[in-house]
Amino acid sequence: MSGPNTDYDPVEVTPLKAEEVEAARDAALTAIAAANSLEELKQTRLDHAGDRSPLALANREIGALPPAARKEAGQRVGKARGAVNQALAARQKVLEAEHEARMLVEETVDVTLPTDRVPAGGRHPLTTGAEYIADIFVAMGWEVAEGPLIEAEWLNFDALNLGPDHPARTMQDTFWTEPAENHVVLRTHTSPVQARTMLTREAPIYVVCPGRVFRTDEYDATHSPMFHQVEGLAIDEGISMANLKGTLDHFATQMFGEGIVTRFRPSYFPFTEPSAEVDLTCFVCRGAQVVDAGDGQLVTCRTCKGEGWIEWGGCGIVNPRVLIACGVDPERYSGFAFGMGIDRTLMFRTGLSDLRTLFEGDVRLTTAFGSEL
């Protein structure tokens, strides 16, 4: 508020004097610049841009001026107020940014704090391993076949050319169910699924069957009464050992990487003829028989015991006697079959050394593999 106009001269109102307006403006700008927080700036705004601030009061006086003087005074005050408001906005922006930055700094947390409120789950590597293998074959256009773990003796043995007195029946120490005259066993291999598949499907057949099998082995680091196999069966016109080799080489490469292939050795299985043992290029030394001990010294590979190969499974051309028992015309079709230990394959791939680790259920095993192999 201006003082009383003692010496009334409308042209010469004190607050509207140029010096006064400039002084008020400068005082405002100085105060704005000096405001160091949003709080201070708020006060500064009240003091210098509020309704009762000098410039606001000066503005109110303009109306009292003679019309001739209003324009100039209005311009002067308006300009000053504009400058103050602009400074206020700029300062506000700066202080807000500073405030925000400070807030963010204050809200800093230790991101290394533990975050595992809900423990992780996981799928067993035997499950995901079997899926991994199945997918290799599904990608080639094969299907996944299944069968029960408790199986008819005829399907587990007879249909596969293992007659009642076949010496191979004693090789596979079988869990028999009671009463014996019911002729039901815990399947000793996944091969009865071959028989089931041939009995229920028309050729051509391309199936793979991962699954659980049982033998009366004592339980130790390399033997288990329950273990897992993957069986493969292809029945088609013109199937040969070369196709078997091609398929297993592909399987080996997909499972263990480029450069890992198979080798066949003559063997004997009642359900295949010719039969072969399958060796795999040692995936540690990759067939070199020696590995770098870490200091440039080459030492004998421990995984393959310096042979460059490791035993992987058995395979062969499906014995025509099996085809006949399962209703496939051996004159028209031939086939191959193979069987590998999944547990063993998995141990190769993951470096596990004790088979029992897979079956004792320690969560640390499963969670180490997550949800896929």
User: What are phi and psi for residue 91, nearest 5 degrees?
Assistant: -65, -40
Site for other proteins in 187-206 (CB under 8 A): 199, 204, 206
Rg of the Cα trace of the chain? 44
Site for other proteins in 31-90 (CB under 8 A): none
Distance separating alpha carbons of residues 121 and 39, to the nearest angstrom: 52
User: Is 309 within 8 Å of 277 (Cβ atoms)?
Assistant: no
User: Using the rule CB under 8 A, is 176 a contact of other proteins?
Assistant: yes
Helix 38-49 × helix 54-61 angle, to 10°: 20
User: Is 33 within 8 Å of 26 (Cβ atoms)?
Assistant: no
Instruction: Please state the closest distance from residue 2 (CB atom) to other proteins, in A.
Output: 57
- Candidates 23-31, 63-71, 76-84, 175-183 — which segment interacts with other proteins by CB under 8 A? 175-183
Closer of 3 and 179 to other proteins (Cβ): 179
- Candidates 21-29, 85-93, 287-295, 325-333 — which segment interacts with other proteins by CB under 8 A? 325-333
Instruction: Please state the closest distance from residue 234 (CB atom) to other proteins, in A.
Output: 6
Site for other proteins in 90-149 (CB under 8 A): 113-114, 116-124, 126-127, 131, 134, 138, 140-144, 148-149
Distance separating alpha carbons of residues 321 and 10, to the nearest angstrom: 128
Helix 18-34 × helix 38-49 angle, to 10°: 170
User: Using the rule CB under 8 A, is 306 a contact of other proteins?
Assistant: no
Closer of 238 and 296 to other proteins (Cβ): 238
User: Is 317 within 8 Å of 186 (Cβ atoms)?
Assistant: no
Instruction: Please state the closest distance from residue 143 (CB atom) to other proteins, in A.
Output: 4
User: Using the rule CB under 8 A, is 240 a contact of other proteins?
Assistant: yes
Closer of 11 and 138 to other proteins (Cβ): 138
- Candidates 20-28, 284-292, 296-304, 314-322 — which segment interacts with other proteins by CB under 8 A? 314-322
- Using the rule CB under 8 A, which residue among 74, 225, 306, 308 binds other proteins? 225
- Candidates 47-55, 67-75, 167-175, 280-288 — which segment interacts with other proteins by CB under 8 A? 167-175
Written as one string, the DSSP assignment of 48-91 is HHSTTSHHHHHHHHGGGS-HHHHHHHHHHHHHHHHHHHHHHHHH
- Candidates 9-17, 83-91, 262-270, 346-354 — which segment interacts with other proteins by CB under 8 A? 262-270
Instruction: Please state the closest distance from residue 203 (CB atom) to other proteins, in A.
Output: 11
User: Is 355 within 8 Å of 347 (Cβ atoms)?
Assistant: yes
Q: Dihedral of CA 249/253/254/256: which sign?
A: positive
Instruction: Please state the closest distance from residue 333 (CB atom) to other proteins, in A.
Output: 12
- Using the rule CB under 8 A, which residue among 190, 191, 281, 319 binds other proteins? 319
Q: How far is CA 219 from each of CA 110, 302, 339, 341, 355, rounded to the nearest angstrom?
A: 48, 23, 21, 16, 9
User: Using the rule CB under 8 A, is 231 a contact of other proteins?
Assistant: no
- Using the rule CB under 8 A, which residue among 291, 317, 337, 342 binds other proteins? 317
For residue 175, the 8-state DSSP code is P
Distance separating alpha carbons of residues 348 and 283, to the nearest angstrom: 8
The SS3 of residue 98 is: helix
- Using the rule CB under 8 A, which residue among 21, 29, 234, 282 binds other proteins? 234
Instruction: Please state the closest distance from residue 161 (CB atom) to other proteins, in A.
Output: 7
Instruction: Please state the closest distance from residue 368 (CB atom) to other proteins, in A.
Output: 11
Distance separating alpha carbons of residues 154 and 341, to the nearest angstrom: 23
> Is 218 annotated as contributing to ligand binding?
no
User: Is 69 within 8 Å of 12 (Cβ atoms)?
Assistant: no
Numbered residues of the known binding site for Mg(2+): 273
